[in-house]
Amino acid sequence: MAEERKKGLGRGLSALLGDPQVPVSPPPVVAVESAVPSGPLRTVPVEWLQPGRFQPRRVFHEEQIADLVESIRDKGVLQPLLVRPLPDQSGRFEIIAGERRWRAAQRARLHQVPVIVTDLSDREALEVALVENLQRQDLSALEEAEGYRRLMEEFSHTQEELAKAVGKSRPHVANMIRLLALPEPVRGLLDQGALTAGHARALLTAPDPVGLARQVVAKGLNVRQTEKLVKSAEKTGAAPSRRSEPPPRDPDLVALERDLTDLLGCRVSLCPQGKGGELTIAYGSLEQLDDLLSRLSHRPEGNDCRD
Active site residues: 99
Q: What is the largest CA-CA distance in the chain?
A: 68
User: What beta strand segments (E) does 79-165 contain?
Assistant: 81-85, 93-97, 112-117
Collapse the DSSP code of 33 into the 3-class scheme (helix H, G, I; strand E, B; otherwise coil) and give the result.
coil
Rounded Cα–Cα distance for residues 167 and 173 (Å): 10
Torsion sign across C-alpha atoms 111, 113, 117, 120: negative
Within 8 A by CB and 6+ apart from 81, the residues are: 49, 95, 96, 97, 98, 99, 101, 102, 113, 114, 115, 116
Task: Give per-residue burial for 287-307: e unless 16+ CB within 10 Å, then b.
Answer: ebeebeeebeeeeeeeeeeee
